[in-house]
Amino acid sequence: MITGVQKQYVNNPHLDNMEEDILYHFNLGTKTHNLPAMFGDIKFVCVGGSANRMRSFAQFIHQQLELPGNADDIRDICEGTDRYSMYKAGPHGMGVPSISIMLHELIKLLYHAHCSDVMVFRIGTSGGIGLPPGTVVITDKAVDSFFRPQFEQVVLGKVITRSTELDKGMAEELLQCSTKLPNCPTVIGNTMCTHDFYEGQGRLDGALCSFSTEEKLEYLKKAHEAGIKNIEMESTVFAAMCRICNLKAAVICVTLLNRLEGDQISTPHDVLVEYQQRPQYLVAHFIKKHLTLL
Ligand X SMILES: O=P(O)(O)O[C@@H]1C[C@H](O)[C@@H](CO)O1
Ligand Y SMILES: O=c1cc[nH]c(=O)[nH]1
Residue list, annotated binding site for phosphate: 83, 122-125
Contact 49, 125 (CB under 8 A): yes
With CB under 6 A as the contact rule, which of the stretches 3-11, 45-53, 78-86, 267-275 interacts with ligand X?
Answer: 45-53
Which residues 231-260 are close enough to bind ligand X by CB under 6 A?
232-234
- Phi/psi for 152 (5° steps) reads -105, 125
Q: Does position 76 bind ligand X by CB under 6 A?
A: no
Cα 160 to Cα 46: distance, rounded to the nearest angstrom? 27
Of residues 222-251, which lie at the interface with ligand Y (CB under 6 A)? 231-233
Closer residue to ligand Y in complex, CB, 27/230: 230
Q: Is 167 in the site for ligand X (CB under 6 A)?
A: no
Print the binding letters for residues 175-204 with ligand Y: x by CB under 6 A, - otherwise. Answer: ----------------------x---x---
Name which of 90 and 127 has its Cβ closer to ligand Y.
Answer: 127
Binders of ligand Y among residues 91 to 130 (CB under 6 A) are: 125-127
Q: What does 48 bind: ligand X, ligand Y, none (CB cut-off 5 to 8 Å by kind)?
A: ligand X
Which is nearer to ligand X, 147 or 197 (by Cβ)? 197
Closest alpha carbon to 133 in 271, 269, 256? 256
280 binds ligand X, rule: CB under 6 A: no
The phi-psi region of residue 241 (left if phi > 0; otherwise alpha if psi is between -120 and 50; otherwise beta) is alpha
| Residue 245 C-beta-side C-alpha neighbours within 13 Å | 29
Regarding 189 and contact with ligand X (CB under 6 A), the answer is no
Tell me which stretch binds ligand X (CB under 6 A): 47-55, 171-179, 220-228, 282-290: 47-55
Segment interacting with ligand X, rule: CB under 6 A, options 11-19, 32-40, 62-70, 227-235? 227-235
Q: What is the CA radius of gyration of the chain?
A: 19
Instruction: With both helix axes pointing from N to C terminus, report the angle between 96-112 and 235-244 in degrees, rounded to the nearest 10.
Output: 30
Does residue number 134 form part of the binding site for ligand X (CB under 6 A)?
A: no
Under the binding rule (CB under 6 A), the answer on residue 202 touching ligand X is: no
Strand ranges inside 194-293, DSSP E: 228-232, 248-258
Q: For residue 157, which amino acid is it? A: G
In the bound complex, what is the minimum distance in angstroms from residue 40's beta carbon to ligand X?
27
Phi–psi pair at 123, nearest 5 degrees: -110, 115
Q: Cβ closer to ligand X: 49 or 90? A: 49
Which residues of this protein are in contact with ligand Y, per CB under 6 A? 125-127, 197, 201, 231-233, 256
Contact set with ligand X (CB under 6 A): 48-50, 94-95, 124-125, 197, 232-234
